[in-house]
Amino acid sequence: MADVNNKVDVRGDGSVVLYQRANRDGSINQIFQMRIRIPLSASKGYFRGSTGESNQGRATQVALNKFDELYNKVKGGGTLLGKSFKDLFNEWKVHYPKVSNESLPQYIEWSVNRIGNYPYKFFVDERGNPKVDTITPQDFEDYFIYRKNNSVKKGVPYSPSNNTIRKECTLLGQMFSYAFEKGYLPKELKVKRPSPEKDSRRPSFTKEEWRTITTGMRKRVKEGWGAHKRDRFILNQFVLILANCGVRLGELRNLKWSDVRRETYEEDDDTVRLIILVKGKTGIREVVCNKGTEVFFERLYDNRKEELNAHPSPDTFVFCHQDGTPIKTMRKAFDSLLDDLNLKKNSMGKNRTLYSLRHMYATFRLSEEVSPYLLAKQMGTSVEMLEKHYGQVVNRLVATQITKTRSRQTVRVTEKVYPF
Q: Is residue 366 a contact partner of residue 393, using CB atoms and an 8 Å limit?
A: yes
**217 and 323, same structural domain?**
yes
Number of H helices, E strands in the chain: 14, 10
Q: Structural domain tally of the chain?
A: 3
Q: Which of 75, 97, 121 is the last residue of a domain?
A: 75
Select from 75, 94, 118 the last residue of a domain: 75
Cα distance between residue 243 and residue 198, in whole Å: 27
The verdict on residue 189 lying in a domain is no
What's the pLDDT score for residue 189?
Answer: 85
Q: Do 269 and 126 fall into the same domain?
A: no
Give just the sign of the alpha carbon dihedral 145, 149, 150, 154.
positive
Which stretches of the chain drop beneath a pLDDT of 70?
A: 1-5, 40-45, 77-81, 102-103, 197-201, 265-271, 388-420
Per-residue 3-state assignment (H helix, E strand, C coil) for 327-355: CCCCHHHHHHHHHHCCCCECCCCCECCCH
* Residue 186 resides in a domain: no
Q: What is the pTM of this model?
A: 0.58
Residue type, 335: D
Torsion over CA: 84, 86, 89, 95 (sign) = negative
284 and 389 housed in the same domain = yes
- Report how far residue 355's alpha carbon sits from residue 358's, in angstroms, rounded to the nearest whole number: 5
Residue 275 counted as domain residue: yes
Question: Residues 294, 413: one domain?
Answer: yes
Q: How far apart are the first and last CA of the chain?
A: 65
Q: What pLDDT, on the 0 to 100 scale, is given for residue 301?
A: 95
Q: Are residues 111 and 251 in the same domain?
A: no
b (16+ CB within 10 A) / e for 114-129: bbeebbbebbbeebeb
213 plus 129 within the same structural domain: no
Residue 198 lies in a domain: no
Whether residue 18 lies inside any domain: the answer is: yes
Residue 187 covered by a domain: no
pLDDT at residue 391 in the model: 57
Q: 40 lies in which domain range?
A: 4-75
User: Does 259 lie in the same domain as 169?
Assistant: no
Based on the fold, state whether residues 122 and 259 are members of the same structural domain.
Answer: no
Q: Name the 3-class secondary structure at 370.
A: coil
Return the pLDDT at 194: 86
Do both 215 and 327 map to the same domain?
yes
The domain boundary residue, chosen from 75, 107, 132: 75
Q: Is residue 354 part of a domain?
A: yes
Give the pLDDT score at 366: 85
Residue 407 lies in a domain: yes
Q: Are 64 and 106 members of one domain?
A: no
Q: How far apart are CA 65 and CA 206, in angstroms?
A: 72
Q: Count CA within 13 A, CB hemisphere, residue 40.
A: 19
Instruction: Mark whether 388 and 323 lie in a shared domain.
Output: yes
Asked if residue 295 and residue 229 are part of one domain, the reply reads: yes
**For residue 41, what pLDDT is reported?**
55
